[in-house]
Structure 1
Amino acid sequence: MYDPTRLAALVAVSEAGSITRAAQRLGYTVPALSQQLAKLEREAGTALLVRHHRGARLTGAGEVLVETARRVLDELERARHELARLAGLSGGRLRLGTFTTAGMHLLPPALTASRRAHPDVELSVTDYEPPLGVAAVAAGDVDLALTHTYAPAEPVAAPSSVVLEPVLVEELVLVTAPGQALTAGAGGSSRLPLSELAGQPLISMAPTHPPRQGVESALARAGATPSVLVDAPSYALVCALVSAGLGVAVVPEMVARMSAAPLGWRLLEPGDLRRTISLVHRADESNPAVDSFRALLRGAFGRSGS
């Protein structure tokens, strides 16, 4: 019998087009994900992926197994919902905290699934700019929150009363106006050395956005020149300014892919500028509504195009 975790890994690679990007989305290291895929191939008795310089693609056998894997994972998710319903999760409330990017692109599918599975649970959603969501969970203001951290950055200790569960790690990528030389023709597929940003006009969130300060310092060391300072941590505004040709920016890959403003984008070399999105919940509390929604969110993040 195939391990559902390994099936989910194969589905993630098929959607991401590369083991590296799939590992980032699932919160794995590349070696750990490669090991899971190798075990799945041994279980299947055949090659499921063909690795190439731009990523990985499914073999014929891999395509067959991915279609089955999707059905199996969907059935398991439905079973989790049904078990929660039978356990009595038919009322009460669930208070959620989120930040803008996750609230716009990742939370709605999970909320829709939750409403479908548990229509009697009262939902509320509050916006918290990270790391304020962590404090809100610790204080009991919300039951569950989405937060993020960036790398490089100084580590920040979380209260001992909460647990941060990483669910998605994504690279930061360069975004430019469409057709700009740094991204023209790249399609996000080839990497640009960070040193190539020397002298480029940078739309920057420093110095008023503490989670980004380590990233902004790395860009400054590479020679990027602040052109526009955005005081509010709004990626929608940053992308609109970039699209208008006022400068370049470095944003999470999810933001680049889902921007309403037209952009060019490109991976950077080295790929060590990252954002980690985590679920925050209280360590000493068992709540069926929270546990069910955590499972829904993990499914949403694992299948996202981030």
Structure 2
Amino acid sequence: MKLNQLKALVAVAKAGSIQEAARLMHLTQPALSKSIRELEREVGVPLLVRSAKGATLTPYGTMIAKRSRAIQKEIDKMREELDSLRGELGGRLSIGLTPPAAGPALADAISLFRHQRPSVDLNLLELRPAQILEGLRDGVLDLGIVTQYGEAESCGFKCSRLYGLKTLLAVGGRRPDPKILPHSLCEAEWLVLDLTEEPNGYISSLFARFNLPPPTRVMRCSSMALYLELASRLNAVTHWAETGFEFIEPHFHAGRMTRLELDIPMPELSVLLVYQDEDLLTAAANEFVQMLNSSVSRHHSRDNRIAPT
């Protein structure tokens, strides 16, 4: 396979037609069609379905185009590494993070990195854990800072636990008796950010402790901003990490929300650093990880971090 052939396939996937893809790549249509046909002969399967309306990718073509994008990302990172070895301090660093991870340790590391590497194109993207893992697989993200309950799982990546966060349950409105029994949680309505069946999600971890089935009345809201607004307006159970305690304390005092009390300790939320491999990290990513681990050491007592070298 040649890089120009893979680029041609990705261009067709993006443009939806060979003609438009050729225009975007500044090629003639016959030249681009020839590249695609050569690639099809090499892999031995059809990659495009051509019609009067344009061109669409077959399942084979979709898979190759997806992998091609990841290859291009690695080539871009290789060029960044070469620039770094030549003493050029530019480059690009994309980090995906879940909202509970956005604490003082991360903010300090980002501030220090920005001060020392101002020429790096830094992108911080708030995403859900599944989206972060997908971004790492596709090469769109360099690093992921995700939160989950239970033991850290590799998911095919390097994964290290940075620190843990306390959690609590709350419900919208004033509740005279904050104590609640486990079976009542099954019957209650819940407001959640992630799918209830995720094995490392809060609901799965909590109800596994009780050996009870998860609740059936669940409203999922993947927007963090809307989640914050709805938490005090709905009579629904919500769960919070300690990075959000400052937000909900005023609601408790004003009677807009009630902190629920159970007879068992709440599960701790783990903040994890996830990445492809130490050898594939750019110089900028490697430097940021070291800054992050140093910042975590200052803010948290647990020394269980693994820094790429």
Matched, 1:144 2:143: yes
Distance 1:178 1:300 in 2: 38
Query: How far off is 1:243 after superposition?
Result: 1.8
- 1:170 is matched by which residue type in structure 2? L
Q: Is 2:195 aligned against 1:208?
A: yes
Deviates most, 249-258 or 136-145: 249-258
Q: Alpha-carbon deviations, 1:280-303, whole Å to 9, x = none?
A: 122233533112211333355452
Give the superposition deviation at 1:166.
Answer: 0.9
Secondary structure, in 3 states, of the residue corresponding to 2:114?
helix
2:192–2:238 CA contact under 8 A, matched in 1: no
1:122 Cα deviation after fit: 1.5
Q: Tell me the C-alpha RMSD between the 2 structures.
A: 4.0
User: Does residue 94 of the first structure (1) align with residue 93 of the second (2)?
Assistant: yes
1:171-207 deviations in whole A, cap 9, x for unaligned? Answer: 3311234753345xxxxxxxx6754855773324398
AA aligned opposite 1:128:
L
CA contact (8 A) 2:191 2:231 kept: no
1:220-243 CA deviation, whole Å, 9 max, x = no partner? 86699665x322334554443332
Distance 1:194 1:171, change over 3 A: farther
Paired residue type of 1:215: S
Distance (whole Å) between structure 2 residues aligned to residue 111 and residue 236 of structure 1: 22
Whether 1:180 and 2:175 are equivalent positions in the alignment is yes
Distance 2:145 2:89 in 1: 24
Instruction: Give the stretch that moved more between structures: 117-126 or 106-115.
Output: 106-115
Which among 160, 163, 177 is matched to residue 165 of structure 1? 160
SS at match of 1:180: coil
State the match for 2:286 in structure 1. 291
Q: Aligned to 2:231, which of 242, 262, 265? A: 242
Contact 2:109 2:291 in 1 (8 A): yes
Verify the 8 A CA contact 2:93 2:123 in the aligned structure 1: yes
Deviates most, 206-215 or 116-125? 206-215
| TM superposition score normalised by structure 1 | 0.52
User: Hey, what does 2:128 align to over in structure 1?
Assistant: 129
SS at 1:119 equivalent: coil
* Structure (1 or 2) with the larger CA radius of gyration: 2
2:207 touches 2:214 (CA, 8 Å); kept in 1? Answer: no
Q: Answer yes or no: is the 8 Å Cα contact 2:159–2:275 preserved in 1.
A: yes
The verdict on how the C-alpha distance between 1:255 and 1:230 changes in structure 2, with shifts beyond 3 A counting, is: farther
Structure 1 residues 273 and 122 mapped into 2: Cα distance closer, same or farther (>3 Å)? same
**3-state DSSP class of the match of 2:145?**
strand
Offset of 1:88 from its aligned partner? Answer: 5.2
CA distance in 2, matches of 1:124, 1:234: 19
Q: Tell me if structure 1 keeps the 8 A contact 2:189–2:215.
A: yes
Q: Is the 8 A contact 2:191 2:236 kept in 1?
A: no
Instruction: Mark the CA change 1:280 to 1:134 in structure 2 (over 3 Å): closer, same or farther.
Output: same
The 8 Å contact of residues 91 and 120 in structure 1, kept in 2 or not, is answered as: yes
**CA 1:258/1:197 → structure 2, altered by over 3 Å: closer, same or farther?**
same
- 1:273 corresponds to 2:267: yes
Q: Which residue of 1 aligns with 2:73?
A: none
